[in-house]
Chain A
């Protein structure tokens, strides 16, 4: 059954108030980058518990790519900033990133080196 929350019309004041209240979630998502990604897959088979850890570090022309890369249990590789695609190959995925984010990689052959930021031993970078 639809509740009253599905019928209450927002106002500019209510929008501002809720955004103020929820801004901490946006800020949190903005702070978390990864110089490397670790994907953990777990499964149970014939009474055995399987854990597969996959570690990725990606660079394009020396530029470290810092979104999170993951692997699903069927082996498909995905990248959080591109939510509708998955790939059989991490290299194919990175090629697609260059297509989707042309502003972030400069012109062809232009090497963009970034100063490495301080990282924790797990490779997470807090900006």
Chain B
């Protein structure tokens, strides 16, 4: 039976479980070390949660193909939606494991609902309350991911990308600069508009493409950064570099993007392009290509096109 992914703001139990699960994964060490991953500095164990940070960064720095500098193995091309669906599912499975609850469904943040409010109220939405994701700051001082410098087990950023695009070791509290770089979230007009776009993606299969994917990812004009990208930029701080899964809100953003994609799939059919017959310069983005993996066996876009037997959303009203 499929599990249900709930709205974070209307399900206090899911909220609490998500925070508990993230903190458990942050304290779980299965063997990989910074040394075994080529991250400079003293060799330290890397937590399961931080392995997802490493995975995201690695996919993002894997260019597809290596001869160009736009599309990578998870972004700026067709694989954006299926790769993040793969990543979300792997996190969900790990959260179920450490929570010992196979019914747990990853919650989503309906950021377009908050985007309907005046910009000043967007910053004080209940998602940033102490009993939800905590607030803004350097470091964040409220909520389940706040820094308690006296507690070595407190939530800390341990691995992040530096300005040169290299993973390095750090030890600091979570950073957010909510509403600083851009002042507003995407709103319902944006999410309604993206659902009118077909096909899923189209040549040149990059950040200049028309179609659903490029608009949902947030590159298409007008208004860029838009939708997914805009949420990263609006939250700011640790949500900006390629190590953005460091902020647990990353998954709530992407779960909502996945919900929007699911609404699109329900509306237009479970179609994905490019097909496997597409030229090899699209390797990594075609329907049967293996997607970048780190913590599990790889998957293909075709494997995740219909997840209704695994999970459903409590609402597809985006």
Interfacial residues, chain A to chain B (CB-CB below 8 A): 1-3, 5-16, 18-20, 22-23, 25-27, 29-33, 37, 39-40, 65-68, 70, 72-74, 76, 78, 80-86, 96-97, 99-101, 103-105, 127
* A84-B233 contact in complex given A2-B306, A14-B296, A15-B48, C-beta closer than 8 Å: yes
Neighbouring B residues of A33 by C-beta, 8 Å:
164-166
Query: Are A26 and B54 touching (Cβ within 8 A)?
Result: yes
CA distance A103 to B207 in the complex (A): 30
Query: Are A86 and B297 touching (Cβ within 8 A)?
Result: no
Sample (28) of A-B pairs whose CB atoms are under 8 Å apart: A2-B310, A3-B303, A9-B93, A9-B97, A15-B295, A15-B296, A16-B30, A16-B31, A19-B31, A19-B32, A19-B36, A19-B295, A20-B32, A26-B39, A26-B54, A30-B37, A31-B38, A65-B163, A66-B164, A72-B70, A72-B206, A74-B207, A80-B72, A81-B162, A82-B242, A83-B60, A85-B233, A103-B170
Interfacial residues, chain B to chain A (CB-CB below 8 A): 28, 30-32, 36-39, 48, 51, 54, 57-58, 60-62, 67-70, 72, 75, 89-90, 93-94, 96-97, 102, 161-167, 170, 181, 204, 206-208, 218-219, 224-225, 228-229, 232-233, 240-242, 244, 292-297, 299, 303-310
Neighbouring A residues of B307 by C-beta, 8 Å:
2, 6
Neighbouring A residues of B37 by C-beta, 8 Å:
19, 23, 26-27, 30
Query: Are A83 and B48 touching (Cβ within 8 A)?
Result: no
Query: Are B170 and A18 touching (Cβ within 8 A)?
Result: no
Query: Are A30 and B295 touching (Cβ within 8 A)?
Result: no
CA distance A31 to B60 in the complex (A): 15
CA distance A6 to B299 in the complex (A): 9
* A80-B242 contact in complex given A2-B303, A9-B93, A85-B225, C-beta closer than 8 Å: yes
**Which residue of B is nearest A29, CB measured?**
B61
Candidate in A25, A37, A67, A74 with the most chain B CB atoms within 10 angstroms: A25
Query: Are A97 and B207 touching (Cβ within 8 A)?
Result: no
Neighbouring B residues of A29 by C-beta, 8 Å:
57-58, 61-62, 167
Query: Are A18 and B294 touching (Cβ within 8 A)?
Result: yes
CA distance A89 to B292 in the complex (A): 31
CA distance A25 to B74 in the complex (A): 14
- Please report the number of residue pairs spanning A and B whose Cβ atoms sit closer than 8 angstroms: 184
Candidate in A6, A66, A76 with the most chain B CB atoms within 10 angstroms: A6
Candidate in A81, A83, A96 with the most chain B CB atoms within 10 angstroms: A83
Neighbouring B residues of A22 by C-beta, 8 Å:
293-294
Query: Are B242 and A83 touching (Cβ within 8 A)?
Result: yes
CA distance A81 to B38 in the complex (A): 18
CA distance A102 to B197 in the complex (A): 39
Query: Are B60 and A80 touching (Cβ within 8 A)?
Result: yes
Residue in contact with A72 in the complex, picked from B36, B60, B72, B207, CB distance below 8 Å: B207
CA distance A44 to B96 in the complex (A): 50
Query: Are B241 and A86 touching (Cβ within 8 A)?
Result: no
Neighbouring B residues of A26 by C-beta, 8 Å:
37-39, 54, 58, 167, 294
- Chain B min CB distance to A31 (Å): 7
**Which residue of A is nearest B224, CB measured?**
A86
Neighbouring B residues of A40 by C-beta, 8 Å:
67-69
